[in-house]
Amino acid sequence: MMEMHRAIGRTAAITLGAALIAGCGAEGTQGGDRDAAAGIDVRWEPCSATQGGGGPETSCALVALPLDWEAADGEALTVFVKRVRGAEATRRSLWMLGGEPGSSGAAFEAVVPELLALDPELEIFLVDHRGTGHSTPIGCPGEPFETGAAMGAWQACVVALEETWGERLQHFTTTAAAHDLGALLGATEEAGRSVHVYASSYGTVWAQRYLELFPDQVDGVTLDGMLDARGGLPFRVDAWHDAAGNALLSRCADDAACAARMGDDPRETVETFLAMLDESLCAPLDDGRVNRARMRQVFATMLQDEALRAAIPAVAYRGVRCEPGDVRAIFHAVDQVALMTAEGPERRTVSAALGMHVMLSELALDTPPEPEALEAIQDEAHVSPDRGSLYRALYDAWPRYEGASAPAALTRGATTAVPMLMLQGGLDPQVPLEVGQAIAGRYQGAHQTLVTLDPAVRGLGFGTGGAQAARGEAQACAMSMWLGFLKDPTAPVDASCTRSLSPISFGGSQGLAKTIFGTADLWDNEESAGDSTAP
């Protein structure tokens, strides 16, 4: 993978001539009336709708764009775009911006058929952020690997990036990607078609930066789970998960079935379980697979899934009870969560290097916390992905971008009249509600609407892993609002469905019990089914 990244990087850094084009085919679209689109000729050629198969009418293009938008006549890189059209004549264009830093447009491939079935007049554009997928990817030795890889792998990554890219790495930024998006939109726009942007998580930072640069280019923007540049995600991610975990456990205390087993303060029961692991008081669990750190990471992954999060109290309850059936159930849960985070086909186009680059350059605080403070947050948490210490350890060594490319060079929040639908989950561990509310406060124009979906993790949650896996009533509610917004962004948003969203059901269905524990009941084993008191 690294050799491919290096080869693509060398060949893509070409000199721009009269045409900014890569790819071939009979069909082309050229220019809008925006300066950014001047001279860009996008040539579409047939390609697969997904990485491994066919599907609807699909075309792809590799487009040469400036490596440095302040030196547009200099070196170029290539940006990859996939276009998938519905069955009917196109009336709306939708550009989808990936959520995880470092992710590519492939993260949305699974949802494209559903969207085209719901709105066959759509054409959907999946664009790979510069540095990911097929857009001049930057990579580390040994990729693909997860964000939580060993420190040695990341240190080798820093060396490889500096050797391969040097100062050119400073152009793989959110601002540059926003310029790319504006140029591509301008070059592909067609009369009679409305243009919309959907963005989730980090994609909302990308979209907001785009709106700062192109405040009136599109007809509507949807921000789903809003994040902020310099908002501190890398250093706050552990605390945010633990806070969301506390909120979940508070709802457990208000639920009769959950409180009957977990007591008045479910957090105490969770701590009892973790303390038992510390002291090896449930001997069958003491085989090296389960400890405090591993379980708080398991809980963090479960918390991101709207179905599995309801089982977090039951894991702790079973751990305290520590019967043979409970031990089997907990090991099953740990294995299931590991399968959830295993690499899928879309992960092959993720750039962990670009993800870390954006995290530490764009999303980190200007003044990072002391390492000891982040370690204390992890140690005290009951729910945490345990990422803050890793980000802090890399912060000083990483070749972060600064100067003209940094967020400080632009305003905090765009001045735009573009209609916006802003969706925020009420229990999102990665994007807290208060963060989304603060961002929405910048967008108070006509037809700019914030909708909170409680107790959802995310609104639509496209391309965001666990949040997308459980498509329940909250997602159906968000979908109904969004489809209406796409058809008429200036119409009032009917958010009445948010008032009837069901609370989290901690009683647990047989399906949930079977999935997470491999059992018929979420809380009890056959040998203890008659006892529902808290341990």
Q: Which pair of structure tokens corresponds to residue 212?
A: 């700062």
Fill in the amino acid letter for 86: G
Chain center to CA of 491:
28
Report the C-alpha gap between 438 and 227 in whole angstroms. Answer: 10
Report the C-alpha gap between 506 and 522 in whole angstroms. Answer: 9
For the four alpha carbons of 405, 408, 413 and 414, in that order, the dihedral sign comes to: negative
Dmax (CA) for the chain in angstroms is 78
Report the DSSP pairing between strands 58-66 and 75-85. antiparallel
Q: What is the CA radius of gyration of the chain?
A: 24
Report the C-alpha gap between 131 and 350 in whole angstroms. Answer: 9
Which pLDDT tens digits describe the chain residue by residue (535 residues)? 223 332 333 333 333 433 333 333 334 443 333 456 667 889 999 998 775 444 567 999 999 999 999 998 899 999 999 999 998 998 999 999 988 899 999 999 989 999 999 999 999 999 999 999 999 999 988 886 666 678 888 999 999 999 999 999 999 999 999 999 999 999 999 999 999 999 999 999 999 999 999 999 999 999 999 999 989 999 999 999 999 999 999 999 999 999 999 999 999 999 999 999 999 999 999 988 999 999 999 999 999 999 999 999 999 999 999 999 999 999 999 999 998 876 555 556 889 999 999 999 999 988 999 999 999 999 999 999 999 999 999 999 999 987 555 555 555 556 899 999 999 999 999 999 999 999 999 999 999 999 999 999 999 989 765 434 446 899 999 999 999 999 999 999 999 999 999 999 999 899 999 999 999 999 999 755 444 444 4
Task: Give the residue from 6, 390, 382 showing the smallest Cα distance to 162.
Answer: 6
Q: Which pair of structure tokens corresponds to residue 78?
A: 């290539």
Report the C-alpha gap between 250 and 426 in whole angstroms. Answer: 14
DSSP assigned state of 156 = H
* Contacting residues for 337 by C-beta, under 8 A, at least 6 apart: 298, 301, 302, 308
Segments in 61-197 forming alpha helices (H) = 112-118, 151-165, 174-188
Would you list the DSSP string of 260-311? HHH-S-HHHHHHHHHHHHHTT-SGGGTTTT--HHHHHHHHHHHHTSTTGGGG
Domain chopping of the chain, boundaries: 45-233+412-499
State pTM to two decimals: 0.90
What is the assigned CATH class of domain 45-233+412-499? alpha beta
Report the C-alpha gap between 55 and 84 in whole angstroms. Answer: 9
Task: Give the residue from 357, 32, 423 showing the smallest Cα distance to 204.
Answer: 423
Q: Which pair of structure tokens corresponds to residue 29?
A: 């679209």
Whole-Å CA distances, 273 to 282, 316, 330: 9, 6, 12
81 contacts 127 by C-beta, under 8 angstroms: yes
Task: Give the residue from 2, 511, 14, 150 showing the smallest Cα distance to 307.
Answer: 511
For the four alpha carbons of 67, 69, 75 and 81, in that order, the dihedral sign comes to: positive
* Contacting residues for 524 by C-beta, under 8 A, at least 6 apart: 531, 532
Task: Give the residue from 305, 318, 291 showing the smallest Cα distance to 241.
Answer: 305
Report the C-alpha gap between 41 and 21 in whole angstroms. Answer: 6
Chain center to CA of 221:
17
430 contacts 204 by C-beta, under 8 angstroms: no
423 contacts 453 by C-beta, under 8 angstroms: yes
* Contacting residues for 371 by C-beta, under 8 A, at least 6 apart: 389, 392, 393
Phi, psi angle pair for 94, to nearest 5°: -125, 120
Chain center to CA of 109:
14
349 contacts 211 by C-beta, under 8 angstroms: no
* Contacting residues for 360 by C-beta, under 8 A, at least 6 apart: 234, 391, 394, 395, 398, 400
pLDDT at 34: 47
With tokens 């699974």, the residue in question is 110
pLDDT at 148: 65
In three-state secondary structure terms, 129 is coil
**CA angle in degrees (0–180, nearest 5) for 90-92-93:** 100
With tokens 């992890």, the residue in question is 378
